[in-house]
């Protein structure tokens, strides 16, 4: 009964999350997990090529397939790890997710030109990923700055 008269200290504003921030956080968590799965699908799509083992180190369209494969594996692992770190609410999760966002942005921007020329069905997920990443940059910048 006496507890209602006792003043409790207010929580620190920097570390409290509003409902809007919680929704964005959950959305980014799910987004990074789905993007990691999409990159895994893209890796499997690279392995479907019949002569991949013979042409892995031969340049095709100005790119080495082994480097492209390595970058997509790296993007998949980092994206899944960002989703898990956001789920665990690690202190460094926003900075790491910002780094992963930059990597995903560059990879998808380069893949957009190949998708326009070769496979137009990949344009829709690539453009969705690019739009979501561009809109999430300010939130991740703000949260990574406050978390440091």
How many angstroms separate the CA atoms of 54 and 121, rounded? Answer: 27
> Residues 130, 135, 138, 140: what is their CA dihedral angle, to the nearest 10 degrees?
-70
Could you give the count of Cα atoms lying within 13 Å of 33 in the half-sphere of its Cβ? Answer: 11
How many angstroms separate the CA atoms of 97 and 137, rounded? Answer: 10
Closest by CA to 100, choosing from 124, 121, 84, 122, is: 84
How many angstroms separate the CA atoms of 108 and 66, rounded? Answer: 17
Task: pLDDT band for 78, please (50, 70, 90 cuts).
Answer: very high
Task: pLDDT band for 109, please (50, 70, 90 cuts).
Answer: very high
Place of tokens 């898990």: 84
pTM beyond 0.85: no
Please indicate whether residue 125 or residue 53 has the higher confidence score (pLDDT).
125
pLDDT at 12 > cutoff 50: no
């Amino acid at each position: 009964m006496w507890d209602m008269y006792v003043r409790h200290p207010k929580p620190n504003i920097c570390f409290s999350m509003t409902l809007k921030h919680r929704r964005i956080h959950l959305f980014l968590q799910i987004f990074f997990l789905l993007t990691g799965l999409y990159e895994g699908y893209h890796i499997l799509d690279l392995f479907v090529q019949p002569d991949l083992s013979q042409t892995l180190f031969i340049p095709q369209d100005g790119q080495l397939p082994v480097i492209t494969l390595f970058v997509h594996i790296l993007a998949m692992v980092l994206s899944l790890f960002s989703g898990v770190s956001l789920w665990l609410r690690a202190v460094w999760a926003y900075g790491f997710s910002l780094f992963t966002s930059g990597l995903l942005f560059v990879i998808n921007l380069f893949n957009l030109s190949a998708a326009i020329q070769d496979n137009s069905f990949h344009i829709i997920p690539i453009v969705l990923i690019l739009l979501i990443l561009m809109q999430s940059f300010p939130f991740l910048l703000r949260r990574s700055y406050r978390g440091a």
